[in-house]
Amino acid sequence: MSTDDYLDVYRSYLAKFEKLFGDLDFSETVRYENRLIQKLRYEEFVQKWNEFKQLEGFIREMMTKGATLDDEVNRTYRDLASHVLQTAKDFLTF
């Protein structure tokens, strides 16, 4: 992704965060998808977003090969999804 693409995704993230939780400071904690999260600064967001997308791609590839999804991998994926305010896909139903 280019820097402009990350900026667009980050702006969408900030808009969604504000819509869901109001104008909170970066240090304040909120509950989302049964997890405690904080508003991420740009650099933190890019790191979490990349981790989320890489893990999602790995899981999708793994599931298409007929492998089973480890509970810890699923938990990590759902945690990352919460941090970037994305709805985690239910790979267990594929």
| pLDDT tens digit sequence for 64-94 | 888 887 888 889 999 999 999 998 888 766 5
What whole-number distance in Å separates Cα of residue 55 and Cα of residue 71?
14
What whole-number distance in Å separates Cα of residue 6 and Cα of residue 75?
25
pLDDT of residue 62: 86
Which residue carries 């969408």 as its tokens? Answer: 12
pLDDT of residue 40: 97
Helix axes 42-64, 71-83, angle to 10 degrees: 140
Task: Please answer whether residues 45 and 39 qualify as being in contact, where contact means their C-beta atoms are separated by less than 8 angstroms.
Answer: no
Would the pLDDT of 37 be above 80?
Answer: yes
What is the rounded average pLDDT for all residues in the chain?
91
pTM: 0.86
DSSP 23: S
